[in-house]
């Protein structure tokens, strides 16, 4: 098959992505002693570290895109290692919330200080390449969510506060929540302050974001005058208060 065949290139790129993802998952098991956790346990513990109020099992399952039973099994495994604890929900005495334990918080601090294999690999990319990869990653996750293949991740592209290419220069994007412009390198895959863009009521909003991401500033013009007006209104209007999430750091 010709190497110039688009279908061949797609298969090769998909294969590379799958192999790299498998390598990163396997590497998590090779961490020294106390750092070694199953990828599902690591993902759940990192999620717990975001909010000191704790999470209900159903919330964790939804955010991680797994069943409640699977989330419960992962919590039990982390409890056995004394990395998480359960406590009564102050809003509902019949329910419980899961929190990272002191040991769990210490694990998160050590893990973040060490950095993961993925971070070390990405650090070798030039800034422009990393920024382009970040933008592509937003598009891939957005498409996966539209296809019903992914849930839970709170990306910039899926957020109603996000204004892609509302400006120019090195910080072309704008966040209406914090009132700040930023570039591709600052795009977030999982932002605690994200407010989901309506994905179930038509696809016009998501399509507009994807189109702007693909075409960049070139798409800003007369056809986008209504969107530009909304962007300017958001930028000149009152900035909503930012809700700070808890962190293990």
Distance of CA 79 to the CA centre of its chain: 25
Residues 6 or more apart whose CB falls under 8 angstroms from that of 137 comprise: 187, 189
pLDDT tens-place string over residues 111-133: 888 777 888 888 899 988 888 88
Residues 6 or more apart whose CB falls under 8 angstroms from that of 212 comprise: 164, 165, 219, 220
Tell the burial category of 89 from Cβ atoms under 10 Å away from its Cβ (0-12, 13-18, 19+): middle
Average pLDDT, the chain: 77
In this structure, are 164 and 192 located in the same domain? Answer: yes
How does DSSP classify residue 194? Answer: -
What phi, psi does 124 have (nearest 5°)? Answer: -85, -10
In this structure, are 144 and 231 located in the same domain? Answer: yes
How far apart (Å, rounded) are the C-alpha atoms in residues 115 and 117?
Answer: 7
Q: Answer whether residue 228 is part of any domain.
A: yes
Taking CB atoms within 8 Å and a gap of at least 24, the contacts of 59-64 are 60/98, 62/151, 62/152, 63/151, 63/152, 64/40, 64/152
Residues 6 or more apart whose CB falls under 8 angstroms from that of 47 comprise: 55, 60, 63, 64
How far apart (Å, rounded) are the C-alpha atoms in residues 80 and 73?
Answer: 11
pLDDT tens-place string over residues 41-80: 988 998 898 877 889 999 898 888 888 999 999 999 999 9
Q: pTM for this structure? A: 0.63
- Domain boundaries, position 155: 125-236
The arithmetic mean of pLDDT across residues 11-15, rounded, is 89
Q: Answer whether residue 167 is part of any domain.
A: yes
Last residue of a domain, one of 86, 103, 120: 120
Residue 18, helix vs strand vs coil: helix
**Percent of the residues in the chain that have a pLDDT greater than 70, as a whole number:** 76
How many domains are there within the chain?
2
Instruction: Please report, for residues 91, 115, 188, 244, the alpha-carbon distance to residue 126 in angstroms, rounded to integers and kept in the order given.
Output: 47, 18, 18, 31
Last residue of a domain, one of 71, 94, 120: 120
pLDDT tens-place string over residues 196-242: 876 554 456 667 777 777 766 444 343 444 444 444 434 433 333 33
């Amino acid at each position: 098959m010709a190497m110039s065949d688009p279908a061949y290139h797609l298969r090769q790129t998909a294969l590379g992505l799958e192999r790299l993802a498998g390598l990163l998952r396997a590497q998590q098991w090779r961490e020294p002693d106390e750092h070694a956790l199953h990828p599902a346990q690591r993902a759940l513990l990192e999620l717990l570290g975001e909010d000191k109020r704790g999470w209900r099992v159903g919330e964790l399952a939804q955010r991680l895109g797994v069943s409640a039973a699977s989330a419960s099994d992962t919590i039990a495994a982390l409890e056995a290692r004394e990395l998480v604890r359960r406590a009564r929900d102050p809003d509902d005495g019949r329910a419980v919330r899961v929190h990272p334990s002191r040991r769990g918080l210490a694990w998160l601090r050590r893990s973040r200080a060490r950095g993961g294999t993925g971070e070390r690999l990405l650090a070798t990319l030039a800034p422009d390449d990393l920024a382009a990869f970040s933008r592509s990653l937003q598009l891939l996750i957005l498409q996966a969510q539209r296809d019903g293949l992914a849930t839970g991740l709170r990306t910039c592209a899926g957020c109603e506060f996000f204004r892609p290419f509302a400006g120019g220069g090195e910080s072309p994007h704008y966040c209406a929540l914090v009132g700040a412009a930023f570039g591709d390198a600052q795009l977030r895959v999982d932002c605690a302050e994200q407010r989901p863009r309506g994905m179930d009521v038509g696809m016009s909003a998501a399509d507009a974001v994807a189109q702007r991401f693909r075409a960049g500033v070139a798409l800003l013009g007369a056809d986008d005058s209504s969107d530009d007006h909304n962007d300017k209104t958001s930028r000149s209007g009152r900035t909503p208060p930012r809700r700070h999430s808890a962190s293990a750091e």
